[in-house]
Amino acid sequence: MPVVVPTVVVALVWRYMLDPRAGVVNAGLRAVGLPAPPWLTDPSFALLSVSVAGIWQHLGYVMVIFLAGLQAIPATVYDAAAVDGAGSWQRFRHVTVPLLAPTTLFALIISVIGGFKVFDQVYVMTGGGPANATLTLVQYLYLQAFDFFDVGRGSAAAVVLLLILAGCTYLLTRFYTREVEY
């Protein structure tokens, strides 16, 4: 369900849940006698709070990708491994994990790209603060190009973002295809 809800709505819900005075999370912590930190106004907690909200929203999407990958593995492969004497752990380790390698790589690349291009959630929850603790490259690009009217710096940030994403994708593909044995 969280995947289909707009990111702005998710960000608003989490912002209200993490409110230091009236939020559900801090009320629950106070009820059990734990300290209630200022989740979105303290630089040491802000990035963690925004990350948890983003992971919560997109976890269902990644789960659907893995479900599709699991359903694509033929049952005959498991049957053959069982005939060869493989137990359930050995079938998981030597059949499921290697055959899910392309699915895992795809989910990892999509998640890394999504993490780098986050804008609206951070903008709604913290605005990039406190003390630029949650300022993302996309938000920096937006601020430079549209708030400060420095289109050159915004364009340079966009090129840097492109290079970072291309480099991450290349490194993940190289590392993952080298480490996984088929």
How far apart CA 108 and CA 66 sit, in angstroms, is: 11
Domain range annotation of the chain: 7-179
Evaluate whether 105 touches 175 at the Cβ level (below 8 Å): no
pLDDT in tens, the chain (182 residues): 889 999 999 999 999 999 999 899 999 999 999 999 999 999 999 999 999 999 999 999 999 999 999 999 999 999 999 999 999 999 999 999 999 999 999 999 999 999 999 999 999 999 999 999 999 999 999 999 999 999 999 999 999 999 999 999 999 999 887 765 54
The CATH architecture to which 7-179 belongs is Orthogonal Bundle (1.10)
Residue in the structure block whose two tokens are 């998640």: 111
Residue in the structure block whose two tokens are 């915004």: 154
